[in-house]
Amino acid sequence: MNPLPRFPARALAAVAFGVAFAASPPASPQGKDDQWEISSKVEMPGMPMAMPAQVVKICVGKNGKDEDFVPKQNNCRMVDSKRTGNKFTYRMECAGNDPSTMDGEVNFGTGAYDGKMKMTMTKSKESMLMTYSGKRTGDCTAPAK
C-alpha cells in the first residue's frame, strides 16, 4: 500500500477553500452584474478518492477581468496570463510558508465556463489538480473595488 502524499495542511486549505474565491465578494440578490455558481473538485495523486465537490456563488462585475473567474487566495498573484479566443491561460505564484505555483486554463462559453488548475508545491514538487465549472445564474450587484 502506497503512503498518501504529505501535503501541508495550509496547502490543502488553500486549494480546497480557494474555491471560496477569497478575492471575490459574495453575491447580492439583485443588480446589473453577473451572479455565478461555481462547482469545484480537487484531486491529489495517491489519494483513493477526490475531495467532495464544493459549490459557491460569486458576483462578477459586467466589466470583470478574465482573472476574476480564477480561484485564488490573498497570498497569490497572477504572474502571466493570455487570452486566445475563448481560452484564458494563466500562471500564479503563491507566497507564504508553503509557496506554490499554479498553472491553469479557463474555457469560456455563453453563460458558462470550465477550467482546471494544477498546483505544484515549490519545496516538495507535489501537485494537486482542481477542476471547476461555472454557470451564470442571475443578476447581482458587485461591490466597488
Which whole number is the average pLDDT over 109-137? 92
Q: List, for residues 46-96, the tens digit of each pLDDT value.
A: 776 667 888 999 898 888 888 888 877 778 999 999 999 999 999 999 998
In the prediction, which pLDDT does 71 show? 75
Question: pLDDT at residue 141 above 70?
Answer: yes
In the prediction, which pLDDT does 1 show? 40
Q: List, for residues 1-59, the tens digit of each pLDDT value.
A: 434 344 443 344 344 434 333 333 334 445 689 999 999 998 887 776 667 888 999 89
In the prediction, which pLDDT does 64 show? 84
Other C-beta atoms closer than 10 Å to the C-beta of 110 total 7
Q: Is residue 16 helix, strand or coil? A: helix
Query: Domain extents for the chain?
Result: 9-140
Q: Which fold has domain 9-140?
A: Porin (2.40.160)
Ordered strands of the 76-84 beta sheet: 54-60, 33-43, 127-140, 112-121, 100-108, 87-94, 76-84
DSSP state, residue 48: S
In the prediction, which pLDDT does 31 show? 61
- Sole residue written with cell 458576483: 59
Give yes or no for a contact between 41 and 130, defined as CB atoms under 8 angstroms apart.
yes
pTM of the model: 0.73
In the prediction, which pLDDT does 145 show? 64
Closest alpha carbon to 119 in 36, 28, 4, 7: 7
Closest alpha carbon to 108 in 129, 80, 88, 81: 88
Give yes or no for a contact between 115 and 103, defined as CB atoms under 8 angstroms apart.
no
